[in-house]
Structure 1
Amino acid sequence: MEGRGGGAGAPYSPRTVDEVFRDFKGRRAGMIKALSTDVEDFYEQCDPEKENLCLYGFPNEEWEVNLPAEEVPPELPEPALGINFARDGMQEKDFLSLVAVHSDAWLLSVAFYFGARFGFDKADRKRLFTMMNDLPTIFEVVTGSAKKQSKEKSSVTTNQSIHRPKSSSKGRGSDSSKHSKVMPKDEDEGMDEEDDDDHSDTLCGACGENYASDEFWICCDICEKWFHGKCVKITPARAEHIKHYKCPSCSNKRVRP
């Protein structure tokens, strides 16, 4: 008989933080599969004419739609009951989003059930939650918001890199690294005051003002002049998608993001 805990075989009981996290990732992957790549099969199995059905995810990255466990209390916390009843009463994407939210809640409850059962202390619980929280939720994956957040996070990370405009840009070629994202002074570790002085004579090709360490700058690949991002209407996020930047003077065409 296939158990709700770990799939086929003997009862499955992860006992360490890493084991519980692997269990969480496997169940999560299975449920994401049900709501994305296997969505047609999942949707068909959620027949509103049947009894209360649940979506289960297993540590081996598989999933199933089935009746709740018969024993009371069950071996593990139960997923949301009766997900099939809502299938035909709402738009498919809304139905899948609803199931995704309940699936996220179930994954948390299962993971911390193991934590409580095996006596995880405060540090262990915090470590487990941090590891889990570093992954997008099922809801974020199913609705596509995980990709959006990933792009925003990537932009923020790159915008904090320690690239600065040089007073002379000769010899830099057309390397896209010239799209410089500058950190504020208080975050700019490893760069001394002399380095600030080296760039103090860099002037914006648009407004003629000096370089400032807390401003975003971008360099034209044609004339190799540096510009304040705000002067040429280029944001750090948009610069991430520009392979070769042409300033307004070098191109009458609008740069595509």
Structure 2
Amino acid sequence: MEGMPQNTPKTVEEVFMDFRGRRAGLIKALTIDVENFYQQCDPEKENLCLYGLPNETWEVNLPVEEVPPELPEPALGINFARDGMQEKDWLSLVAVHSDSWLLAVAFYFGARFGFNKSDRKKLFQMINDLPSVFEVLNGNTKQSKDHPGTHNSSSKIKSSGKSRQSENHTSKSVKMPMPLKEDESGGEEEDEDEEQGLTLCGACGTNYAADEFWICCDVCEKWFHGKCVRITPAKAEHIKQYKCPSCSNKRTRV
């Protein structure tokens, strides 16, 4: 099976890295590459599965023939329901099964290499610190609108540069933590930094970092790494209304 890593993870940290890579691939399939993923899930084809790979990529493929398989298998036949339900509901259902599969693979490695109680607990805590694929897909993560004190509603771009307002596009600005008043304590500044760190990329699901360029979708209001959606700071300054790949690809399906 192509999803089997060349160097099978044997420690908690290695299993978590494998989990995170597969998760990133699945999130990419259901958000950034959603149109490509949709087209590959042709109901006329045989039973298909969505695999997340350790190198942060994904593939739609037939299940393996071996019984039992080398790794737990994802949900079988996801393509058959594609045209029988609303696209959003279908993607959400695939996301839920993807989350279940990710956990199955991670704890399969744990069982295979004899993780003890503390190892399993450590692995679960590391996994649980990341939002699920379903949460990322449906925006059920702590985004900018959850922290009005940190993310101004008129700010759609943020990076490590100084706060500024574009002369030509007043709806866009580079976003940094809100300045503190002179009588505010250093503890409040730490709280704001912590809140900003809770912002999660709508594509890869990782946390905000001050040295990275981010942009917010004007439709779904999710934040994205510029690199994840292929938007540079210079390009963003000339965008009057930014739509993320998922919102851009939305269309009515019968």
Same fold (TM over 0.5): yes
Contact 1:4 1:69 in 2 (8 A): no
Matched, 1:40 2:44: no
Distance 2:99 2:89 in 1: 15
Instruction: Tell me the matched-pair count.
Output: 160
Query: Counterpart of 1:176 in structure 2: which amino acid?
Result: L
Matched, 1:60 2:52: no
Alpha-carbon deviations, 1:221-250, whole Å to 9, x = none?
A: xxxxxxxxxxxxxxxxxxxxxxxxxxxxxx
Distance 2:179 2:57 in 1: 45
Match of 1:121 in 2: 116
TM-score, normalisation: structure 2: 0.58
Q: How does 1:26-175 map to 2 (within 5 A)?
A: 26-148=21-143, 152=146
TM-score, normalisation: structure 1: 0.57
Change (3 A) 1:151 1:19: farther
Large movers: runs of 4+ above 2 Å = 150-155, 174-181
1:73 match: secondary structure: coil
The alpha-carbon deviation at position 175 of structure 1 amounts to: 5.5
Distance 1:70 1:41 in 2: 25
Change (3 A) 1:115 1:154: farther
Structure 2 unaligned spans of 5+: 150-177, 188-254
Distance 1:99 1:77 in 2: 16
Distance 2:35 2:134 in 1: 18
Matched, 1:176 2:180: yes
What RMSD, in angstroms, separates the aligned Cα atoms of the two structures? Answer: 2.6
Contact 2:3 2:54 in 1 (8 A): no
Percent identity at matched positions? Answer: 70
Match of 2:3 in 1: 4
2:59 match: secondary structure: strand
2:141 match: secondary structure: helix
Higher RCO (C-alpha under 8 Å, 6+ residues apart) = 2
Change (3 A) 1:125 1:179: farther
Distance 1:154 1:139 in 2: 24
Match of 2:153 in 1: none
